[in-house]
Chains A and B, each alone.
Chain A
């Protein structure tokens, strides 16, 4: 393809990167911090850290996506 057509392809690449990474980050955030919260709950005999962990993980994942793809 010619040079003029390079830019739209780069945009497409960035968009696809973001579109496929965001769900993955959200899942990873929930899994990791939800998992840590669950372990804390088991250790301390509480029940709140699991939910806190899930919310914290989602927020962190959102923040990471904002920093990486928001611009």
Chain B
């Protein structure tokens, strides 16, 4: 279906989809900021709110139906994301971490939902604002719990290193924690979703082009291969979408945990 909108300029030749075609989307209804990913982000928020509301608004001691499903997600985030990094503080941060995990997962799933088919996080603004929020929270918590000087001292002067080496190693610690961390946090999610969307669009266009647009005896096997690869990569994408949502929440937990307690 995506392929329909991607037909290239030259009608007789196969041209792979370009990032411009896939990601530079026209505003909807003439409103400058209202684009497809914005709509999908709003829709995702509504889905997550509705899901959590219906699951947890009237919780039963013995969960049934949708509460059961949501509790599997909750237990997963608590045991795999929150507890390993936050220990006894885990429950206090579950609200944030569960929201992050569910929201990013739904964002990513938008990439394979038929007709919608656009992963929200493939526009870097969306993961960037989440990573920035965690970054600000991390610094705030670090200064609150370790003191302004203590926080930077614990960060830049790790124990177990000869004193003379601090001159060389402290800039490294600073850059890694203060500059690279939020950047990689956002880019990891963005790049995975961007590349995944490119791959899916490419293979589905191959299948569409060689089987429907220009059906030839030589081209047909390539078209079949394109369809098969689309299915295979959709399965792979489903895995990566889950994994990236999990990783984003896990890194958020790691940063928060590191700010609450100085590294040992």
Contacts and interface: CB of A to CB of B under 8 A. Distances in A.
A60 B169 CA distance: 7
Interface residues of B, number: 24
B172 interface: yes
B179 interface: yes
Helix, strand, loop or mixed for chain A's interface? Answer: helix
A20 interface: yes
Interface string A30-71: 011000000000000000000000000100110110011000
A27 B84 contact: no
B83 A24 contact: no
Contacts of A27: 176, 180, 184
A27 B251 CA distance: 17
Contact of B158 (A1, A16, A23, A67): A67
Contacts of B158: 64, 67-68
A18 to B, nearest CB: 11
Helix, strand, loop or mixed for chain B's interface? Answer: helix
Nearest to B85: A13
Contact of B176 (A1, A28, A63, A67): A28
Given A32-B171, A67-B160, A68-B158, 14 more contacts: A1-B79, A12-B84, A16-B85, A17-B254, A20-B254, A21-B176, A24-B184, A25-B176, A27-B180, A31-B175, A32-B172, A32-B175, A63-B169, A64-B169
14 contacts: A1-B79, A13-B85, A13-B257, A24-B180, A24-B184, A25-B173, A28-B179, A28-B180, A31-B180, A32-B175, A60-B168, A63-B169, A64-B173, A67-B161
